[in-house]
Structure 1
Amino acid sequence: MIVKIEKLVCDGYGLGRISDKDAGEKSGKVFLIKKALPEDIVEVKIVSEKKNLIFGKIKNIISPSKFRINAKCSHFENCGGCDLQNTSYENQLKFKDEIIMEIFAPTKIFARPEKIIPASKNELYYRNSIRYFFQVQNGKINFARHDFFDKNLLKIDRCFLQSEKNFEILELLKNILNNSLESKNSLWQLKIREGKYTSQIMIEIITSDENLPAEKEIVESLKIIPEIKSIYQTIAPYKSLKKMRRRLLFGSLVVLEKVGPFTFQISPESFFQTNSCGVKTLYDVIKKFAEVKINDKVLDLFCGTGTIGIYLSTLAKKVVGIEIVPEAIRDANDNAKINKIKNIKFVCSDINNLTIRQFSNHTIIVDPPRAGLTKKLIDDLSKVNFKRLIYVSCNPMTFVRDLKLFESRGVIAEKIQPVDMFPQTHHIEIVGLLRKKF
């Protein structure tokens, strides 16, 4: 099946069609092809079909796009980590702008998005967190990640989104484990977290039972690396993260990272933006939109570990952060103490059960998961006499869906700024400033 790619669409797919004379029963259907670029002509292997959509992967490139370059990573064609490394960063930004404009085009949303801005100068080596799977073959250990389509494990020698130091750690672990005669069947995942501005590293080895092969040698070898400040074993029975428990094998409970003048702790459970070097750019957009003044009160919904609220706290009279995850609230309170912030309070609560009207005349920030906001929360927020409403989203599709619901309730988008936090991937962060229509 030969397909010409017309454009990139949300989720990083190249969208294309085949000519009517060749289409047969596929006539009128849209092909969505991962790793394809506009103007590519490709032979496609069909992976799955859904209504009028056909999902496929490139079998052969008949005529390469003028936008195509050789990816730096030898695993690019199959790995699920990157999907835009085969084009220049300038083109990546161009395509992301086009994707955003196309999402907004059919809507009557009041504001139009600004051009996407790079979060940092780092196009590679920017990730502060990465997860690998242990792959045991013939008694030997490799490190693997998921294939982008079938989710089979793909052996990875290196990844250009993480630091070089991480590969020293991978090689060291591989050598220790491959020289061990102990059973390696309990090994499941390896997670490495790194403070880009502190150089502090946390190692988390996830096993399916209590057994950690070569435990003593692993700990003794890793702890002499100056950057490694914390080593955990996480035990996840039956490879389920729901019933996991942790053992601290070495060092401190947390590692530290900086965002501007603030220091934040990262525990194994913490959510922290994966691009440390880009977080300040994102938070500065939020800060610019919020225009917080000395007598203002701020409500930070989905506050996580409190990073946004703390970043704005020195400008405000008072900040309240709400989050449903107890571990995140614990970290948020610790982060406030580390930074000696006295005017902030964190509450563990389900946001959808919150009485929003008590926060009248607040500047409200929402930073929900990819699924976006519930209709109930949009209703509640629309009824509040807020000062400003800042919506931070990692999913442009649900962002636009929610903006349409807000506008039908008299709350309009005044400014929209996309931020490229994740070079080499299709992911886009987007910030909106909303206000009452009347």
Structure 2
Amino acid sequence: MNLEFIQALDDIEKDKGISKDVLLEAIETALVSAYKKDFGSKDNVRIEISAEAGEVKVYSRKEVVEDVENKNSEISLTEAERIDSKYKIGDIVEIEVTPAKFGRIAAQTAKQVVMQRIREAERDVIFDQYKEKEDELITGTIQRFHNDNILIDMGKTEALLPPSEQIAGEKYEIGERIKLYVVEVSTTNKGPRILVSRTHPGLLKRLFEIEVPEIFQGLVEIKAVAREAGQRSKMAVSSSESKVDPVGACVGPKGMRVQAVVEQLNNEKIDIVKWDDDPEIFVANALNPAEVIGVDINKSDKIAEVVVPDFQLSLAIGKEGQNARLAAKLTGWKVDIKKESEVEVKPDNIEEIKADASELTASLEDFEEKESKVETDIEKEASAAELDPDADAEEANEDLIDEISDEVEKLEKSKDEL
């Protein structure tokens, strides 16, 4: 090696951020293996590289002992004193054994080590760079297809889009730029492995964050997302400001914001609903666009029993149960949908109705008592009346009978009304 090589190490340190000392240490370790392999040495050796001149020297390291048993790692005290009289038993003696042609081997080995370290450093940089982008949105170019996998060109590296993360029915073409969600970044022997997705719910969330300024500003929050990629999704949103409509903000003027997201997701249908802390209201909102009459929450079993009008049942369930299924994913509740005609309505004001019924019963009993008394009075008046056989008396009796009949009819009508 020479001064040019040392200068190259300085340049690598500046450009790649790899410490020169780390590189020299790695080269020295590699040269030890190269020396033993090429020269068949079994000695315990140390390689020293001058950081200033680039000169390489090989030293055999041996321990000073009284009686030598292993010539490769031990030296007698007598021989050690010939080198330097200061050596004692237990000291380590270093003897230079640099081969004449070792410079060429050293240069070749050093080059291999440096190249390997550069590759490792670049992999580390890429890993760190994309590790920070986990759960984030990135844009890449479709580079090639491998079996059913799609390899995405990210510039300095590739990302993997496996079949399980591809939208069914979506067409992919080489050279096409697409937005992707970073699911996971891990290390392998071949470098960083970047797993990306087109089906993850996080992709929908990140796309709306780009299109809706209110989300970026923190005025609107995406609380939950449920997706069946390529077909339909539901997203629950809330607002920290009473004046800001979270659903309207995400839909945008004339639906422009939501449409921009739809176009990037293979025309996937998106339902945007309002989040609510009350599970009954939230479940009802989640079944949009179906109309909901009532929701009964069973907290112990985490079940929401939903009642909808008969004509809305199919809409609430959705095609192949999709609407109900997505509502369940979005809310975290098992949704049981029933039509109105099948449900016995249980009023919430049952106690009030019971009180009214009790009052009505008492009124009816009071009426029956009064009715009985009136009938008795009528009978007394009838028996006490003198029925004159002549015409005038007969007419008077008929008037009295009609009057009694009218009174009885009024009482009967009042009774029916009660």
Superposition TM-score, scaled by structure 1 size? 0.22
The higher radius of gyration belongs to: 2
Greater RCO (Cα-Cα under 8 Å, separation 6 or more)? 1
Higher-helix-fraction structure: 2
Superposition TM-score, scaled by structure 2 size? 0.23
